[in-house]
Amino acid sequence: MLRRCAPGSPRPRAAVRALPPSAAALRQRLRQCAAQIPEAEAVLDLLEKCPEHQKKGDYPVIVFEGLDATGKTTVTQAVKDTLNGILLRSPPACISQWRTVFDDEPTPIKRAFYAAGNYILASEIAKASTQAPVIIDRYWHSTAAYTIATETSGKVQDLPPAQDEVYQWPEDLLKPDLVLLLTVDPEERVRRLQHRGLQKTKEEAELEANSLFRQRVEESYRRMVNPACQEVDASPSKEEVLTTVLQIIKKHCGF
């Protein structure tokens, strides 16, 4: 059994400290645990191969965010097909097999893993965006929103204030052109989850059982800046949602 690394920073400013602010910070965090967690060494090796300061190509990069069962998989695939684009997901396939290992680690290590996934994904985005429009199923905003909601207890009012640094995009991470936040009514989302019949992650079980946690995640998404999320109601039919999404993309990205 793998030994866990000691938990990181104390509770004050926990949300900020749980989020590595840069690639250098998350590399340092992974190095601290690499001796105990072989998978951390493997993630670090992949991260070290990624060039610094990734630059986007000429094609637009469009991210879809939202809770599970808000339609991200369906919409991203439909947009990819419509725009003849390239579909990517976070965490990227090269590290996704280690999610179960890091999900059981203390928060600072778990978040370092997901943050590393974003930087590794950025390398894929940089290359793909020279070839075609890039559609992404989750990116940095998911990492940040779930960290903030987990490290904050209580109601939405207990979240860090709207202009807090925790909602800022990392300066050294490739930015997308557009971020769309898919939302549905809580009851509809639960109905979709039950219909899917998939095994729940720990965070998904928490979302279902704890309405305050769900509210904190969604509000954290809404407070993200530079870039901010554009909210899309994903409750209507798949066709209607796709039409709305394509209209926003056309307006924002010039298609």
Domain residue spans of the chain: 50-102+114-253
Rg (CA), the chain: 18
Which burial class, exposed, middle or buried, applies to 110 when counting CB atoms under 10 A from its CB (0-12, 13-18, 19+)? buried
- 50-102+114-253 is classed in which CATH architecture? 3-Layer(aba) Sandwich (3.40)
From first to last of the 255 residues of the chain, give the pLDDT tens digit: 333 444 443 343 666 678 888 999 999 999 999 999 999 999 999 999 998 888 999 999 999 999 877 889 999 999 999 999 999 999 999 999 999 999 999 888 999 999 999 999 999 999 999 999 999 999 999 999 999 998 888 889 999 999 899 999 999 999 999 999 999 876 665 665 665 555 555 655 655 557 888 899 999 999 999 999 999 999 898 999 999 999 999 999 887
Specify the pTM.
0.86
pLDDT on residue 101:
95
SS (H, E, C) 156-193: HHHCCCCCCHHHECCCCCCCCCEEEEEECCHHHHHHHH
Gap between the terminal Cα atoms of the chain: 51
- The residues, any chain, with a CB within 8 Å of residue 212's CB and separated by 6 or more, are 154, 155, 156
According to DSSP, residue 51 is labeled: P
pLDDT of amino acid 52: 82
What does the alpha-carbon distance between residue 222 and residue 201 come to, in Å, rounded to a whole number?
Answer: 23
